[in-house]
């Protein structure tokens, strides 16, 4: 099972879009993909037409069960998204109270890792959409994943947020037994603006070796896909955004330890 | 140099806080937790900062008298802080009888300022920090230091003008003068909620969190006056609040005619 977290402590950088797009591509390639919405805002949950305000089973249920000493039974809280091969464990707004309820209670940072360990037979890939703040949910994601994708919007303020995110990662690294691979993904790139071009150059200079060589462009079709509740990569494989994510996945499989999971030729290129 | 040290102190304290937080979350639990360990769902109010506060260790007697004391005028004290009663020995060994239970294995304090006076409050006694913009309802006929009541979580909390409570008369007059004869309550920016949020202590600004060992404090051994003063934090040269005594004094004074 490949476990990937998509995180950045800055909001609006394309975390949910990245999670959905990569998940869609992997599902198209025949993988059994599980998406986890760890953000109390529930963008990923809403994307697929579920209501994060509701009280249905989801991520919160796992923490409830752990707190009450019950079996986690994570398979029972996954929902079908309507996209073949793509399942989802939903978020709920109640997740925003977890930090307050749990504080730093022992073992609560490992609930997701333990849940995923029980799902090894059902899914080959897990993609987690993380909350935009450090807390019990972010710690869970960083403890559970093998690879961290950090979408970085190509504008100067985003570079500041990135420093904070990387500091958080280095703190969690010390508590992990295995090293965490990190890839920075330039997103919302607008080649017509000086700011986008300069920020991209700065990002590559400051973080040599960590940045994916491509970019995810600004593409209004992402919004249309979210309204339709479909990954853009499934709905319009020929869209600029879809092609960019296909290139990103291809690169991740070829250049990182995530490689070898699926034959590259089967990844949709539109 | 001092500034640099202060800055590195801030970073260190923050790193300590994060390390402890992560260590707790990422420590595997061998025994399953029972339902009794579930935490009730709170109803949080908007706040400007929330610190990871350990469960409060309640103490029946905050500090015990262990031996007679004498005043040592040579002692350096924070500017404007009244001289603190000192134990007989000039280099006192910290006695377990003097040190509160929550401080015995080291503790963390939030440093804050009231009218230029630096004070410290133990994190174990601090519930939350809220903005002074919270609505405070004035109550007529109360003591001058009682600013009013405010809604906090699911109950009412009393809000205290800290300067009026802890400053000697002359210092309070100076503060009022410095503020262009405004009421001393003007200019407060934050309220430190203590005693499970029953009381709020106003302050001008919040500084940083420092980690201290018990012997980093000159604990007071006899408290006939200024019961709110637990001791002096020697390195930071500031007064450490004895929250229980302070709120006890507030409640006692509140009953005065």
- For residue A259, the model assigns a pLDDT of 57
Q: Are B88 and B69 in contact (CB under 8 A)?
A: yes
Q: How confident is the model at residue A136 (pLDDT cuts 50, 70, 90)?
A: very high
Count contacts between A and B (CB, < 8 Å).
73
Which pLDDT score, from 0 to 100, does residue B182 have? 62
Average pLDDT over residues B14-19: 62
User: Which pLDDT score, from 0 to 100, does residue A19 have?
Assistant: 97
| Pick among A73, A95, A104, A165 to test the B interface (most B CBs inside 10 A) | A104
Q: Is the torsion defined by CA of B132, B134, B139, B140 positive or negative?
A: positive
CA distance A104 to chain B (A): 5
Whether the pLDDT of residue A190 is over 80: the answer is yes
pLDDT of residue B16 exceeding 70, the answer is no
Q: At A226, list the tokens.
A: 């979210």
Nearest CA in chain A to B20: A104
**What does the alpha-carbon distance between residue B11 and residue B17 come to, in Å, rounded to a whole number?**
10
Q: Is the Cβ pair A175, B28 closer than 8 Å?
A: no
pLDDT grade for A23, boundaries at 50, 70 and 90: very high
Which of the residue ranges A243-252, B22-31, B188-197, B232-241 has the most confident prediction, judged by mean pLDDT?
Answer: A243-252
CA distance linking residue A70 with residue B33, whole number of Å: 8
- How high is the mean pLDDT of chain A? 88
Residue of B14, B26, B108 to mutate, testing the A interface (most A Cβ within 10 Å of its Cβ) = B26
The span from the CA of A141 to the CA of B78, in Å, is 46
Query: Are residues A66 and B33, on separate chains, in Cβ contact within 8 Å?
Result: yes
- CA-based max dimension of chain A: 55
For tokens 């849940």, the residue is: A115
Q: Do A109 and B52 touch (CB under 8 A)?
A: no
Note the pLDDT tens digit of each residue in B47-77. 333 333 333 333 332 222 223 333 333 333 3
Could you give all domains of chain A from N- to C-terminal order, each with its CATH number? 2-255 (3.40.50.300)
- Taking the CA of residue A139 and the nearest CA in chain B, the distance in Å comes to 8
- Strands B190-194 and B126-131, sheet pairing: antiparallel
- Say what the pLDDT of residue B41 is: 25
Exposed e or buried b per residue across A258-268, where buried means at least 16 C-beta atoms within 10 angstroms of its C-beta: beebbeeeebb
- Closest to A263 in 3D by CA, of A255, A2, A253: A253
Contact A105 B25 (CB under 8 A): yes
Strand, helix or coil for residue B22: helix
The first and second tokens of residue A130, run together, are 């993380």
pLDDT at B92: 38
When pLDDT is averaged across residues B215-238 and rounded to a whole number, the result is: 80
- Taking each helix axis from N to C end, the angle separating B2-25 and A156-173, rounded to the nearest 10 degrees, works out to 60
- Asked if B25 lies within 8 A of A68 by C-beta distance, the reply is no
A69: nearest CB among B19, B28, B33: B33
Q: Look at residues A234, A214, A232, A213 and name the one whose alpha carbon lies nearest to residue A223.
A: A232
pLDDT at B189: 86
**What pLDDT, on a 0 to 100 scale, did the predictor assign at position B65?**
28
The confidence score (pLDDT) of residue A215 equals 95
Mean pLDDT, residues B241-257: 75
Query: pLDDT at residue B80 above 60?
Result: no
Q: What is the mean pLDDT of residues A109-124?
A: 93
Minimal Cα–Cα distance from A164 to chain B, Å? 13
More confident residue, B174 or B194: B194
DSSP structure string for B192-253: EEETTTTEEEEESEEEEEEEE-GGGEEE-S--SS-TTEEEEETTTTEEEE-HHHHHHHHHHH
Task: Tell me how close the Cα of B155 comes to any Cα of chain A, in angstroms.
Answer: 18
pLDDT at position B79 over 50:
no
Q: Do B25 and A100 touch (CB under 8 A)?
A: no
Q: Which segment, A191-195, B14-18, B181-185, is predicted with the most confidence on average?
A: A191-195
A20-24, A54-58, A79-83: the lowest-pLDDT one = A54-58
Highest mean pLDDT among A32-46, B24-38, B84-98: A32-46
Chain length of chain B: 257
A103 contacts B52? CB cut-off 8 A: yes
Q: Identify the sign of the CA torsion A98, A102, A103, A105.
A: negative
Q: What residues in B contact A107, CB-CB < 8 Å?
A: 25, 27-29, 33
The confidence score (pLDDT) of residue B43 equals 28
Structure pTM?
Answer: 0.55
Contact B44 A101 (CB under 8 A): no
B39-61: b (≥16 Cβ within 10 Å) or e: eeeeeeeeeeeebebbebeeeee
Q: Is residue A263 predicted with pLDDT exceeding 80?
A: no
Cα distance between the two ends of chain B: 51
CA–CA dist B11, B97 (Å, integer) = 33
Interval B150-165 mean pLDDT: 87
Which is higher by pLDDT, A72 or A264?
A: A72
Q: How confident is the model at residue B134 (pLDDT cuts 50, 70, 90)?
A: low
Give mean pLDDT, residues A126-145.
92
């Amino acid at each position: 099972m490949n476990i990937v977290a998509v995180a950045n402590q800055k909001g609006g950088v394309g975390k949910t879009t990245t999670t959905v797009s990569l998940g869609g591509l992997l599902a198209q390639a025949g993988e059994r993909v599980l998406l986890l919405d760890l953000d109390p805002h529930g963008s990923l949950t809403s994307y697929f037409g579920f209501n994060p305000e509701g009280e249905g089973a989801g991520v919160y249920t796992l923490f409830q069960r752990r707190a009450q000493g019950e079996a986690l039974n994570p398979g029972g809280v996954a929902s079908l998204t309507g996209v073949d091969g793509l399942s989802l464990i939903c978020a709920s707004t109640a997740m925003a109270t977890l930090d307050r309820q749990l504080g730093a209670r022992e073992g609560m940072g490992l609930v997701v890792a333990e849940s995923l360990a029980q799902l090894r037979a059902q899914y080959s890939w897990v993609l987690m959409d993380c909350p935009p703040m450090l807390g019990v949910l972010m710690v869970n994601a960083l403890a559970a994943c093998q690879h961290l994708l950090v979408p970085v919007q190509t504008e100067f303020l985003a570079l500041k947020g990135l420093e904070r995110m990387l500091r958080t990662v280095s703190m969690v690294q010390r508590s992990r037994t295995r090293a965490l691979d990190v890839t920075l993904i330039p997103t919302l790139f607008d080649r017509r603006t000086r700011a986008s071009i300069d920020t991209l150059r700065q990002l590559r200079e400051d973080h040599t070796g960590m940045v994916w060589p491509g970019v995810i462009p600004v593409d209004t079709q992402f919004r249309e896909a979210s309204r339709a509740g479909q990954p853009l990569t499934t709905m319009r494989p020929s869209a600029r955004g879809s092609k960019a994510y296909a290139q990103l996945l291809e690169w991740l499989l070829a250049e990182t330890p995530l490689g070898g999971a699926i034959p590259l030729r089967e990844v949709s290129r539109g | 140099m001092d500034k640099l040290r202060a800055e590195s102190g801030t970073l260190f304290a923050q790193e300590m806080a994060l390390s402890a937080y992560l260590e707790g979350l990422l420590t595997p639990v061998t025994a399953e937790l029972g339902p009794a360990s579930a935490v009730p769902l709170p109803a949080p109010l908007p706040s400007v900062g929330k610190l990871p506060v350990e469960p409060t260790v309640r103490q029946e007697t905050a500090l015990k008298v262990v031996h007679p004391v004498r005043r040592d005028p040579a002692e350096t004290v924070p500017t404007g802080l009244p001289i603190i009663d000192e134990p007989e020995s000039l280099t006192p060994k910290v006695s377990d009888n003097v040190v509160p239970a929550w401080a015995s294995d080291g503790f963390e304090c939030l440093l804050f300022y009231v009218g230029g006076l630096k004070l410290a409050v133990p994190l174990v006694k601090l519930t939350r920090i809220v903005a002074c913009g919270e609505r405070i309802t004035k109550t007529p006929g109360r003591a001058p230091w009682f600013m009013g009541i405010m809604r906090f979580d699911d109950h009412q909390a009393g809000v205290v003008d800290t300067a009026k409570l802890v400053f000697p008369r002359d210092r309070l007059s100076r503060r009022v003068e410095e503020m262009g004869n405004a009421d001393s309550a003007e200019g407060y920016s934050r309220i430190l909620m203590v005693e499970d949020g029953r009381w709020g202590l106003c302050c001008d600004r919040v500084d940083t969190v420092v980690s201290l060992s018990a012997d980093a404090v000159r604990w007071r051994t006899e408290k006939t006056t200024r019961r709110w003063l637990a001791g002096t934090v020697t390195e930071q040269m500031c007064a450490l609040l004895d929250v229980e005594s302070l709120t006890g004094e507030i409640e006692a004074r509140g009953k005065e005619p």
